[in-house]
Every structure is written in C-alpha cells, then in structure tokens.
Structure 1
Amino acid sequence: MARMKYLQRRANRFEFRFPLPDDLAGKPVPAPLPETLVPLVNPRTGRFKTELIRSLQTNDGKVAERKVLSHIAETHALVDQARQLLQNGPPAGISPDEITVLVREHEIDLLHGDEALRTRGIGLDLARPGAPAHHDGLGMTDDDLAAYKYLITYLDKYVRAQAAKMRPGELIGFAVNRAVAKRGIVLHPDDPVWRQLELGFVKAQRSAFESINARLEGEEVPTPEPLAQAQGITITGALKRWTDGGSRGARKPRSRSAAEAEQAVRRFVELHGDLAITAITKAHGRAFRDALAKLPKALPMRLSRMLLPELLKQDLSQYPKRSAQTVNKILALLGGVLARAERDGFFEALPAWSNPFHVGFGIAQSEREPYEPFSLEELRRLFSSPVFANGERPLGGRGEAAFWFPLIALFSGARRTEIAQLRIGDVRQGEGGIWYFDFTNEGEDQSLKTASSARSVPVHAELIRLGLLDVLAASQANAASLWPGFEPPIDPKVKAWTKWFGRYLGAHVVDHPAKTFHSFRHTFKRACREAGLSEEIHHALTGHSGGGVGRRYGRERRADGSLDRGISLQRLQREINKIAYSDLSLPRPQSRPA
C-alpha cells in the first residue's frame, strides 16, 4: 500500500517532511514576523526554509499516519498565512478580542516576573555598601524585600497618576510596541487602537501592582496561567484534555464517543488546520457543518483516505448524504470538547466568547423521533425469513449473531452494542438458578451509553426455550466473546453487522428509516407497558434513568460481585416473563443447509 504523502521513514523512525512551495522556499522574510510563522523560518539566513521536517516519535506506521494529519493541516495553514504575509504584508488592524488578550497578557507577564524575582531573590546586603548583589536562589533577603517594596510603591504611585490623567507614559508605550510587534501586527501611528491599548496596559499594571502589594504583605495571590499557553492549546490539544478526563476519578467520555470526537477533530483539522481554540469562530463552525453535510453517510475505501478539502472536490452525488441529526451529533461532540476547555479557563480573556460549534441544523419535527416499534406483521415476516426459517447464515450476519441478536433485543430491550460485547462470563446464573445478562463496561473494549445502562436483565423464558443456553454451553473460556467474530475491537464489527441487518431488514421485512435494529428496543418498551410492568421495572430492564436520585437507593451487591438496580432478580424475572408477543411463532435455530 502506498505511503501517505509527507510521511517518510528514516533511521527506523517516521518523520513528517513537507517541502515548502516554490513561492515561499528561500524567500526573504518580511518584518515584523508573527511568532506563529517562526517554525517556517531559517534563523541563520532570515529566509523561509525550503522544507519542514519534524520527527513523529514513533516507528509504528499506523500511529505515524494518524499523527501526521495534524502536522499536514497545521503546515498548510502556516503556508497560507505566510503567503498572505508576502502578498499583503503584516496584518493592519486588531480586533477587540485581541486587544483584551494583549492587555491581559501584560498583567500576567508582570505577575510572572514578580513571582520569579521573589522566588530567586536579588541578593542585596546593605550592611556592605558597594558589594555586588548575589542571590542564592532561595528567596529574598530582608534588604531585598525592603528595596523591592519601595520600588513597587513608587511604580504603583506612578501608574496611578497616569491613570488619573488618562495619559500613559513612555514605558507603557514601549510595552505596547513590543506586544504588537511580537504578534506581527502593523498599526498606523494615528490608529485609535494605540490609545486603547495604552490605556488598557495602564489598567493592567494597576491591577498587577495591587496583586503584588498583597503578595508583599504575605497574602497568597496565584499567578494566572500564561495566555500564550492558553492560546497555544489547539483543538487537538483540547481533545486530549477532554478524553483524558483531568484527574483520577474524573468523568471521561465513553471510548466510542472519544473515537468519534477524534475522527471529527481530524476532519476539522483537515479543513481549517489545527487552530488555537481561541481562534476558532462560528464562521469556522458553519463551514465545517456545511462540509459535513456534503459528505456521504458512508465513504467507499478509495475516498476514505482523502483529506476533507480534496474529498469535497469529488462527485459525491451518487452516494446518500448523511442526515442533519448526524451532523449535529458531530458538532455537539466538538462543542463538548471546547466546553471542557472553557471550564478550564482557556477563554477567560475573551469575555464575549460563545461556543463556535453551536451552529447545528434545525431538525424537522418529523425527524426528531425517527424510530418506531415493529408491528406484529413485521415481526412475523422477520422470523419467517431465511435466517430464522431456513437456517441461512449470511456472511455479513456473522454466524449465530444473525439469529440471536434480534431475539435477545426483542426479549430484553438491549442495545446492539450491549449484545455484541457480551462475553461468555456475562451470561450468569444467580441465586435461585436465575440466568441473567450482566450488561457492563468492565471488560476489554466494553462500553455503555450511560452509567444507568449497567444492569442485570434476567434471560426471558422464551430465549431459554429457543436454546440460548445451548450457545453458552458450546462456548469455552469465560473471558471470551459469546459471539465468534465480535472479539475486540468491537465497534467497527458492530457497525458492519448493523449495515448488514439494515439491508436484510429492507429485503425481507420493511424498508423504512424508522424501522432499524433500534426498533427492537422500542418494541420491547411497548410490550412492557402492554404487560402491565411499572415504569420503574422496565427502566431497570432497559437501563433508562429517571425518577430522581431516589431510584439509585437500595442497590445491593450480589455474591458474584455484580450490582443490581435496587430490584431483586427474582422480581425482575417474574416481571420480564410476563412479556409476550401474541400470535408470533418463533423457530428454534436450525443447522445451516448443506
């Protein structure tokens, strides 16, 4: 298989190698240069490099292919910025948000400088006039503290006088010039932004001196995290913080959600580059939304490796588009990533910030609840189809999964992934000889949609009659998958199986978007109500939450270590066995015809 562009192997390690285009390579760099473009510049010659090389720190080809994507997108964005700099010169002008950031950065820089100075010390010894100051790195001496207090008092008085006169001094002007040049921004001498910045820097110094004076009185005033670091958090960095959770015991996203968010971020980076999260706007969010809407819901192999901008140039009209709900789900994941960053304080310098991924499509009312239960006639057609009546086992159905997945869902309301990830040890026999499914996320590659999805569901008497326990008896090791072909990684196999089932359903039962495998869950809930089960009981069976915190009281850990839902297995078994589908004949599994 051809190696991905810009990826090469050298000395048993992979590296990113990006030749700069001819219109940039070796060209003189204009001044002032924004710090973001420093990676493209040869500091010795003051010209743009001819190529950019970065080690990917891995010898695994698949890992390298994932890592290189963000480098590709980031470098394309830098190249675009460099071209714009050469063509149009440095940016002229500055936004209100950038003014806010520059002012806040100045205050933080002063506080960082104060903390560094007091931590290191100065080393003054006024008892020895003329002796050179030599600090020991262990903090301030008494003479250091006295001299420093005098200096801060003087500077504080000086800056207050400037604030009172609304006339910033030369030192303020010098600080503003340095901050603007650092960003590679050129402002006209008469631009009113200069005055906004200077007055903002005066305010920042007053605030910093108030904090420093409090520190000099022994109060603890923490130094804020540098905004340069906050702005340097890109969307891929924010994704990592989101998936890591933050600390021991912190809530983490489900593995499936993390994988979907990783794929969404990869596509966003392909379109816009690995932007700093503070630079992402609603315009970026809308452009990404519209790009997603143009993509098919499933990509053929020849297209799946293409970068998003290249993919959008293809003729995709022959493929069915993804739904607005799917696009909104992807946007919601990215919105969640930035919401975590907001809680961590990365947007505090942007008081008017709003989540740029809150730009989802409005969903038609007819599409808000797309799933419907199967009718009795549809169930009859399904269970008289070739898999059930003739013992056929299509390749896409993955053996006995084709027969048992629909039946287990019909008599338990379990989700497709919950069924697919069952291990042999997850079908247990509890007190009183009751067989039950232990739906959990404790095994390798097992996951649950919500915390309330962890539950024990008695095996319905009809499943036992049809021979489910025979499948269990024929299996071997306790930790192995109950279903051959569904060993980890499970998620792609479940998706492939679901596509097969959708095609099978359309060919033999009903072809309608409201009727899918998830319809079994709706069918089961309806059957629960028809059988007179209380909401508390059928919520316990299906793993739905509701009813407030009291619903979690009374949970008991069984002898085998599993935790019930506060209702005994005996009670749940009596209730679930009340569920019946009248006038529905269900065949036992047959051997596949020779």
Structure 2
Amino acid sequence: MGVVVKNLYNVGGRWKFRKVIPLKLRQFIAEQPTEFVRWLGKGTKTDGSILRKYAQASQECEALLLQAIKRASGRFDELSTEVIAHIIANERHRLLEEEDEHRFDEEEDELFKTVRAQVSAIQGAYVNDDPDRRWRKRQDTYQELLAAYRHDYARGRVNVHLRDELDDLCLRHGLFVDTGSLDYRRLEKAYLGLMIEFLELALKRQEGEPVPTPPPPPAFSPSGSEEKGLTLREMAEKKLAMKAKSHATTEATETALRLFESVYGQRVITTITRREVANWIELLQRKPIRPDKAHRELGLKELAELYADRPEVPRLSGKSVNGHVSHLSSIWTWGRQRGYIDRGLDNPFSEQRVEEKMPAADEGFNPSQLQAIFNLPIFTHGERPVQGRGETSYWLPLLLLTYGNRPEEMCQLLVSDIFLDEDERVWCLRITDEGDHPVKGSRHLKADGNPVVRRTLPVAKRLIDLGFIDYIDSLKNAGEKALFPRLTTKGKRGYLHTSFATWWGKYLREHGAIPEAGNKPLRGFRDAWTTAAARSGLTEEEREWIQGHYIGKGKTSNRRYGVRDFGRKINDIVYKGLDLSKVRPWQPM
C-alpha cells in the first residue's frame, strides 16, 4: 500500500503543493491569501526531487501558519535582553570573521585576474589594472554605509533594507517575532549600533590595524534544545530550507551530495576528513561528462574505474569539479556559522580547488550575425512562423538584445511587470521572482529570494519606438497575464525558453544567420550585450547590476541600496555595425 501524501496534486502533468489557509488566519498573513501554493515540477509521485520539494513546501507552509497563529494569539517568541545580547554577539562574531576571511581570500584575486584577462581579449573594452581595486571598493562601500547608518542612528530610524536583514537574522535563530513590539524596536536599535561598530572596525582593518575577531558566544537556545550529529545531507536540507535558494542551486547541491554519497554514504558531517574529500575530488576529475546511457545510474567510483581505459571520453572540467566542492563547502560553512559545527573544526572542503582552464573570451554574436538575424522576415516583413510562439519570435530577441538578461528571465515576464512609473513618468520593466506565471508557476532568478537581483529597468526608447507598449496594451485587452502567452515549459526543470530556443537555433541556421555550430541561439545575445556594453563605456558594476549578477556583501555599495539610475545606461549601449532601420514596428496580427 502506497504512502498517502496530503496536499499534493497533479495538474496537467505538473505537481503542485496546495493547502487552504484557514479563514481565521488569513488576515494575519501578508496579502491575505486563501491558499498556499508551490509548483514542484514534473516527474512521478515517488520521484526524489518531487518529494524533496514537497517537504520544503510543506515546511515553508507550516512555518507560515505557525507565525500566523502566533500573530493571531499574540504568542511571539520573547526578545528578552539575553536573547538580544546573544543575537548581537553572534552577529558581531560572524560579520568580523567573514570580513577577515574575505579580505584574505586569494580566490577573489584569481577571479579578478580571470575576468580581467577575458575583458582584455575584447577589443576596445576598458580594463581596470588597479592592483588595489578590491581594497578601494571595500573602502568606498564601508565609508558610504557608515555615513548612511550614522545618519539613520542620529535620527532614530532604521531603513527598510536593514529591517529585511534583521528579519532574516531572527529567522536564522529560529525566532518568530512581533515586528511591531517595543522589544523588536530595541533589537533594531542594537543591530543598527552593531553595524556602525562593525564598519568602524572594518575601516581600521583597511588602515592596516589588526582587529581581532571576538569568539562566538556560548550556545544559547530559547527552547534549550541542541542538535548534534547531523549528516551532510541533513545540514544541506536545513540550509536550503532556511535560505530559500533557487531551483538551479538546489539541483546543483543535490547533484554534489549524490556524487559524494555514492562514495561515502550519508556521513555525519563532522566525521568527514580532508583526505576523504581529496580522494573524492580525484574521482570527480576522472568522471566522464556524459556517461553512456547504460552507465548513468552507476556511482562515482564505479564510473571512474569503468572509463579508466577510455581517455577519449571528455571528463569534468576543473570549473565543474570546483563547483561541486564549493556547494558542499558552503554547507559546512553555513553549519559552523549557525552553531551546528564547532568553530574549532577544520572545513575539509576548503582550500581544495583544482586548476581551471581559462575559457576563451566569448563575444557572443558578431556584428554580421546580429545584422543577419534582424534582417530575417520576422523583423522586416512581419512573418510569424507557427513554431515561433506568436509574438515571442519578434519581441524576445529584441528584449535580449536590449537588456542582455538571461533568456528565462525574459520568458517568464508577466504583463504586470511592464508599468508606468508615475513619479518619473518612465515606462519600466521589472525582473523579479515574485508572483506566479500562469504556465510555469513559481518564477525563479539566479539568486531566488534575494532582493538584490530583483531589478527595475526603464523600457528602452528603441522598444517603445517599435511599439512595445502597444503590444502590452493588446495583451491586457485580451486578458493575458504572461508577456509571451504561447510559451510552454519543457524538460525536468520546467523552463519556458527551452523549446523556443531549440526552434530558434534551427530557424537561424536554416536562414544562414549563424553557422551550424559555435553559437548559442539565445545565450549569444547576452554575450554580445556584455561586449557592446563594455565598448559603450558602461562600468563593470553597471553591467553586473543590469544583467543581474549577484554581488556579495561588502563588494559594492549597490548591494544594499541599489543604484536605479544604472538602468538608464540601457539607452547608451551601441552595437557597432548593427542597423535596425529595416525592423518593422510591431502591429497586431
């Protein structure tokens, strides 16, 4: 007899977690939802990935309902003086330790050298050769933040970005708090003071003064409970459930765990040795990229042995190996930061990177290829091939050319993401993971749940001139919610762009716009945009923000406050040798 799984439904081949929110609790949840829904993707009911997503959705739902129950009854966790002191002491240790680790992180320098070498290969691009680049960026960031926080402290207020961080901090400590209470206000004040203290100490380190990191406070839990002996997988599940990572990150973590467990089984995380990790990495380097179909269920060790005498089969790249190691290292680091692992223990996954071959600079579509693409009948004669998904074949390439974003980010846009900013009187395009797509369900960005990668960009003049706002109006009149209503999902990841990309590549090659091999039919726009933006004078920070690259804390001032006028640089980007005068303005079919 099978296991009965509650609140799990199959809708058109896709699994959905759905639970009705009790009527009496709805008023205590933001936006007063009637039900809690999470789309889990395609697969069988017993598929491991579906069951893991189901467990995460169930846990998220229960946490939401528990918080609503506490809010309804007024039973929030107490923010006593002791609890606040413990939170602040723990955060002081974490901030200073991470700052110190980042300051002496040689991998950051290696990454900079790699990026600089790639940019140097782009003709006409600006290359920053300043050896103190990282120091200057830290200095600027710390000074700007310190001035802003002192300004807020002097006026007795806490900005919304700091409140968001504080809410996450409380959740990490397992606390459900009343954000309207006097005790929470005391915590806000203490946290703001801590940030000022931290930045002052960080600036002393900038001047060369050794500032020691204080030891972490003794373990403290309001419930008095401690968890010991967690396996690597259990720690990963805790981390992923709390940090709400993107689908791609969750899937990559699962792959790394599966490869590790195929060799060592489910190990208690603190029993893993550095030698075992080194042996595992050696096996990863011997793993074929794409094993024969009959061998795909084999473990890592068996694969390495089976293909030992087949040197012609490509192996995992150094970048892929380091990616697997990095995912497991981050699990260990997270567990140590949260007190699950003793601070005195060595992270066996750290400092185990293997050599990576620097990839050749990819400039994306060249000028002649771009010209050939936008000379196609879709753009010059109004043709709409059946497999081109209606207006997708016209607008999606133009959007990718204009913004250089990831194809899926554009494909999952909603009509409501295009809006008029009443204050600025500017049409805007919002890229976000918030809200559900009518076909795909939950939307995702590269760093899900992180407001830093959510961004609002102005609709470029080129798009407005071609009738983009008229297209939006036509969708509204037709009652459509999706920007590209004819797109459907494909593959186990449920991406919208996949099936279109397959047809698009075939269409371009049939018309001789790109060669039979060597170009990625949609990704080529992103690489071409990066090249054009660099040659048009956009700074690295401006390019990264527009394209949605996640920038960690302490690396740039735009992380905390955002620099919305970066988006206005869109209209400054020029593609050398590209003439769009033959592109016909959009007209309803």
TM-score (normalizing by structure 1): 0.50
Tell me: higher relative CO, structure 1 or 2? Use CA pairs within 8 A at least 6 residues apart: 2
Instruction: Give the structure-2-normalised TM-score.
Output: 0.50
